[in-house]
Structure 1
Amino acid sequence: MSVNPYLPGATVLDSLLFSRIQFGANISFHILFPTISIALGWFLFFFKIQHIRTGQDYWQEAYRFWVKIFALTFALGVVSGITMSFQFGTNWPGYMETVGNIAGPLLAYEVLTAFFLEATFLGVMLFGANRVSPLVHTVATFLVAFGTSLSAFWIIVLNSWMQTPQGFKMVDGKAYAVDWLAIVFNPSMPYRFWHMMLASFLTVSFLLAGISAYRYLRNSRSPANFLVMKLSLTVAMVLIPLQIMLGDMHGLNTLQHQPAKLAAMEGIWEGGSGVPAVIFAVPNQKTRSNDYEISIPKLASLYLTHSVDGEVKGLNDFGDKIPPVAPVFFAFRVMVGMGVLMLLCSWIGRWQLRQNRQLPKWMARVLVAMTFSGWIAVLAGWYVTEIGRQPYLVTGVLTTAQAVTTLPAGMVFSTLFAYLVLYVGLLAAYIWVVFYLARQADAKDAQGHPAPKKTDSSFSPFGV
């Protein structure tokens, strides 16, 4: 039970807990949609380029189908982002009061340079295909895709600064910028930005593959559907190994700048040299040890420091300034496990297309099941990032308890409940609409395309 510094004598345990859950629920819902729109914009731009380059209408057909899903995703991302930003004032007033001189400009840069760019050209992209030249429409698609990535850049800059703050000074309890380059290019920003970009492309790759496999199981006759399936599996097959390498580099950066988070991810309580890798355990924060631990001696030191005798700090080295260990520990394993599963599915699926020129039904069903697998990996990764930063909101500068609202716990809980009900309904509706659009495309496809001949490799994009 801690004391609210903005309301002397008042406890903040309940308000803090409900505020953290509410913000976690909001950001969990919000991040699902930018994760798709960032990379899907670039896929749409690729479809346009391929249509111009080859003259094949299949690419334009793919564009027309997936731009509908992009529009739906973009709309939900914008709306959920606005409600999330409100909480800086309602649930976390101490945040903007303390670091608003840095957070405010970064959020403004995102709106001025990215959101306005997206909003300006989104209308041309969605409604201007028959009103402007193909070149102008392609440029509009590029600018929207670029705008989504630029938006991600500024948001990652702010989040990374909160993780590894640099380039500021504290005056009378408030942060003031002294070096904007150091703030923007803080130590963890490059790793987080590219890790997020690759995560977005992998999320969209499996979305494209899963919906294409769903249409394939419904006997889709569209060559565009086959093209998208093959392209998406190829992208996933290539990018997942890159994501693994980048994740290792990000982990080494975390070891240097946020060792307590890294120790929680690995389940390391006692530091030292030759630290074992904990494969499975149930972290026990009360006893500050692991229950049911299965570990491999010295392996953690080897992959974290590249030496079997390398020294790694444990959670007990940080006193009480450690995050909730179990959520970070298990979320990290969910992220890694989902990444491995995505790697196997992309490689096996792409190999099946190469060997048989068509996808076995069992593999198509697997891809349908993996349609939103990227969401699971992204959420697990964000939980590692955000929960692992606790008890700080801004590492070493501001704790969550210092920033929390003075509103009564009951009021915070009521809005939390309303958000959860709304978000569950919107998420269910979104998923239903995505598959509904696929079924509608199949209905039109059955009338508009002749059935492809399986032996005609010149027609089939699965042909080698």
Structure 2
Amino acid sequence: MFGLEALLLARIQFAFTVSAHIIFPAFTIGLASYLAVLNGLALRTGRPVFTDLFNYWKKIFAVTFGMGVVSGIVMSYQFGTNWSVFSDKAGPVIGPLMGYEVLSAFFLEAGFLGVMLFGRDRVGPKLHFLATLMVALGTFMSAFWILSVNSWMQTPAGYAINDVGQFVATDWWAVIFNPSFPYRLVHMVLAAYLTTALVVGAVGALHLLRDRGNQAARIMFSMAMWMAAIVAPIQIMAGDFHGLNTLEHQPAKVAAMEGHFETHAGAPLILFGIPNPAEGRVDYRVQIPNLGSLILTHEWNGVVRGLNEWPEDQRPPVSIVFWSFRIMVGIGFLMLGLGLWSLWARWRGRLYDMPWLHRAAVLMGPSGFAAVLAGWITTEVGRQPWTVYGLLSTADSVSPIAAAAVGSSLVAFVVVYFLLFGAGTYYILRLMNHAPIPAEPGLPAEEPVRAGGIMPGPVMASKNALPAGE
């Protein structure tokens, strides 16, 4: 179908469905924790504004969570339809891990979700806070198990191969906590928190542009900018550690990310260029001498392996990995810049009175999703041509299925996804466009930096100023 083989169509289908799915858990992991923080602040301070913010975001969480569940279920079916050989060979290892995700994470989320959404007046504030914590814990546990599965496929450990060619676990601790898992888990969870912070910050900034006295919008924006300022530099460092781990276990992926075809000491850091795999070089490149070796080996003249050390059929698609990696890193530094800008505005006493900062925050709202998708593309395309790295190729993992069958289901997925999730996304944007109803009197126009009661700040003398300590 479309002149494409079943293998390529199956890969496109999985790439499309996983890309549509990952944006939802990337948001709900962070949003569940944010709801827990808001609920805890409401319980501790007794301020109605935190309860109003909780109610505002819980509706958005419910819709996003539902779309994430639906898109995740669709993905699981593809293991049986398009990737049955992979399921047969790797199922004894990844099957139990995915089962643990359902038993420990999904049941936890589903069991307490109804209490979190509808039970505040029925169970009391303390039990309601506990239910919110359990939902947040469930989202984290879900990420834990899914990333353990993915990390094992990237850096397999604790396994043996039986007489029929199946992977079987010999050490479950080694399977779960495989060499890349801790780095991947930290990197992904931080990405989820940043994604949520940027969305919350964008919504807060949007409503500050409309009414800078809206106390709920001020709290949203302040909390989000604290998260961006604190977590963005941590994420950059975590990404560096993750890159060093990848260099150790998947050097071909790093060579593609960096655009290195030749092995040489003192490798440059290629900032931009156009990969030319046919000629084995990056054309029109802009580079910094020796910096690539310094970053990757921590030595000025360290040796960095190039793609030419691997056979052509064992190299990942260079152009895709090269550009997706740069998109991810570039967005990460833009997040850092936004966080630093907010710190400067906060120090100047103008966090809520700097429209250009607010406009930048609105523009950066979707950037977390773009960075997550770019990072996921870097990870998954960079693993090619393997499903289980170095052991089971993608070509040997696909089902014996006709291209027409895969192509028709791909078209159906695209149509249904754009209709269903397009409508859901439109509804979420409608909810975000509606301003949170302030439960406390708005701040006067001359009020300087106030982090909505989250962090102390200077207060100008005014008969309308909030009481000290609020």
In the superposition, the TM-score normalised over structure 1's length comes to 0.93
Does the Cα contact within 8 Å between 2:148 and 2:177 map onto a contact in 1?
Answer: yes
State the 1:351 CA deviation: 2.5
What residue is the counterpart of 2:337 in the other structure? 344
Q: Contact 1:392–1:398 (CA<8 Å) still a contact in 2?
A: yes
**8 Å CA contact 1:118, 1:144 repeated in 2:** yes
Q: Which amino acid aligns with 1:72?
A: V
Please list, as runs of the form range in 1=range in 2, the aligned pairs for 1:4-403 lying within 5 A after superposition.
14-171=5-162, 172-219=164-211, 221-320=213-312, 321-355=314-348, 356-403=350-397
The answer to whether the 8 Å contact 1:349/1:359 transfers is no
Amino acid corresponding to residue 201 of structure 1 in structure 2: Y
- Cα distance change of structure 1 residues 262 and 460 upon mapping to structure 2, 3 Å threshold: closer
Whichever residue aligns with residue 381 of structure 1, its letter is G
Task: Give, in whole Å, the separation in 1 of the partners of 2:311 and 2:154.
Answer: 19
Residue aligned with 2:434, SS = helix
The one-letter amino acid of 1:404's match is: V
For residue 436 of structure 1, what is the amino acid of its counterpart? Answer: R
- In the alignment, is the contact (CA less than 8 A) between 2:203 and 2:433 conserved in 1? no
Contact persistence 2:386–2:392 (CA under 8 A): yes
Give structure 1 regions of 4+ aligned residues with deviation exceeding 4 angstroms: 448-451, 456-460
| Partner SS state of residue 284, structure 2 | strand
Distance 1:246 1:429 in 2: 35
CA contact 2:345–2:354 (8 Å) conserved in 1? yes
Q: How large is the RMSD of aligned CA atoms in angstroms?
A: 1.8
Residue identity in the other structure for 1:62: L
Shift of the 54–20 alpha-carbon distance from structure 1 to 2, 3 Å rule, reads same
| Structure 1 residue 273 displacement after superposition | 1.6
Q: Tell me how many residue pairs correspond in the alignment.
A: 450
| 1:403 partner SS | coil
Is the partner of 1:166 in helix, strand or coil? coil
Query: Cα deviation per residue 1:283-308 (whole Å; 9 max; x = unaligned)?
Result: 12222222222222222111110111
CA contact (8 A) 2:351 2:449 kept: no
Mark the runs of 5 or more structure 2 residues left unpaired by the alignment.
459-470
User: Contact (CA 8 Å) 2:157, 2:174: kept in 1 or not?
Assistant: yes
| 1:427 Cα deviation after fit | 4.1
Residue 267 of structure 2 aligns to a residue whose secondary structure is coil
Please give the alpha-carbon distance, in whole angstroms, between the structure 1 residues aligned to 2:81 and 2:263.
40
Counterpart amino acid of residue 43 in structure 1: Y
Residue by residue over 1:346-389, the C-alpha shift from the partner in whole angstroms, topping out at 9 and shown as x without a partner, is 22134324422523222212211111110000000000000000
Q: Which residue of 2 aligns with 1:4?
A: none
Secondary structure of the structure 1 residue equivalent to 2:387? strand
Kept after mapping to 1: 8 A contact 2:24/2:67: yes
Normalising by structure 2, we get a TM-score of: 0.92
Alpha-carbon offset, residue 422 of structure 1 = 2.5
Q: Aligned AA for 1:405? A: S
Kept in 2, the 8 Å contact 1:454–1:460? The answer is: no
Rounded Cα–Cα distance in structure 1 between residues aligned with 2:234 and 2:71: 30
**5+ residue gaps in structure 1?**
1-11
Distance 1:99 1:13, change over 3 A: farther
Give the 3 Å change call, closer, same or farther, for CA 346–357 of structure 1 in structure 2: closer
Give me the whole-angstrom Cα distance separating, in 1, the residues matched to 2:450 and 2:299.
53
Partners of 1:144 and 1:216 lie apart in 2 by 30
